Amino acid sequence: MPDTAAELTEKPAFQTVAASLGEPRTYGVINGLGLWTLYKREVGRFFKVWMQTLFAPVVTTLLFMTVFKLAFGDRGQLTGDFAGLNYNSFLAPGLVVMGVLQNAFQNSSSSLTISKVQGSQVDFLMPPLSPLELTIGFVAGAATRGLIVGLISGVAIHLSGLASLDIAHVWAVIWFSLMASIMLGALGAMGGIWADKFDHLAAVTNFVIVPLTFLSGTFYDIKVLVEPFRSLALFDPFFYLIDGFRYGFLGVSNSDIFVGVWVTAALAFLSCAAVWWMFRSGYKLKA
pLDDT in tens, 5-16: 444 444 444 344
* Percent of all residues in the chain with a pLDDT value above 90, rounded to a whole number: 59
Residue 58 lies in a domain: yes
Over 80: is that where the pLDDT of 24 sits?
A: no
Cis previous bond, 12, omega within 30: no
**pLDDT tens-digit profile of 44-94?**
999 999 999 999 999 999 999 999 888 876 665 666 677 778 888 899 999
Domain that holds residue 231: 29-281
Distance (Å, whole) CA 53 – CA 185: 15
What pTM, to 2 d.p., does this model score? 0.87
**Helix/strand/coil percentages in the chain, nearest 5:** 75, 0, 25
In this prediction, residue 120 has a pLDDT band, given cuts at 50, 70 and 90, of confident
Tell whether 151 is covered by a domain. Answer: yes
DSSP 224: G
Which of the four pLDDT bands, split at 50, 70 and 90, describes residue 25?
Answer: low
**Res 175: pLDDT:** 97
Within-domain flag for 276: yes
Residue 9: inside a domain: no
Number of domains present in the structure of the chain: 1
Strand ranges for the chain from DSSP E: none
Q: Does residue 6 lie within any of the structural domains?
A: no
Residue 24, in any domain of the structure: no
Residue 105 lies in a domain: yes
Position 5 in a domain? no
**Phi, psi values for residue 77, rounded to 5°:** -120, 135
**157 within 8 A of 114, measured Cβ to Cβ:** no
